[in-house]
Amino acid sequence: MNSSDLKERIIISKYLGEVQNENGFDEPTWDDTYYTCWSSFKQISGKEFISAKANNSENIVTFTVRYSNKTKVLLEVGATKKYKVIYKEKDYDIIFCSDYNNLHQWIDIKAEVKG
């Protein structure tokens, strides 16, 4: 991986907790300023399927980012529920993160676009 391959700008957003809206329902709140960085983007799989009379789609991608203090927290147990990726104004749920070849240089973020 070369740093010249990092051509896509992403935001890593951190989950802050639940806040009640004006109707009394709990809504998740996110810190969309947690970390903005350059990444490479790779489409892994995409498919559409019909389930329970509804059209569904699954779009799994991989973002590769530099290893840093802000990104290494993604490797901790349970981090996939505490962070998400925002790319081209779409939210991506993080499925899995790995230290690319265990060299502490790159982190691969496998994510799925939300609904």
Among the ranges given (16-20, 31-35, 42-46, 101-105), the one the predictor scored with the smallest mean pLDDT: 42-46
With a cut of 50, say whether residue 49 has pLDDT above it. no
User: What's at 50, amino acid-wise?
Assistant: I
At 77-100, the pLDDT tens digits run: 999 999 999 999 999 999 999 997
User: What is the pLDDT at residue 3?
Assistant: 72
Q: In angstroms, rounded to a whole number, what is the distance separating the alpha carbons of residues 25 and 30? A: 16
Q: What is the DSSP string of 76-89?
A: STTHHHHEEEEETT
Mean pLDDT of 32-36: 96
What phi, psi does 110 have (nearest 5°)? Answer: -90, 125
Looking at residue 9, what is its pLDDT? Answer: 97
Burial 45-64 (b: 16+ CB within 10 A, else e): eeeeeeeeeeeeeebbbbbb
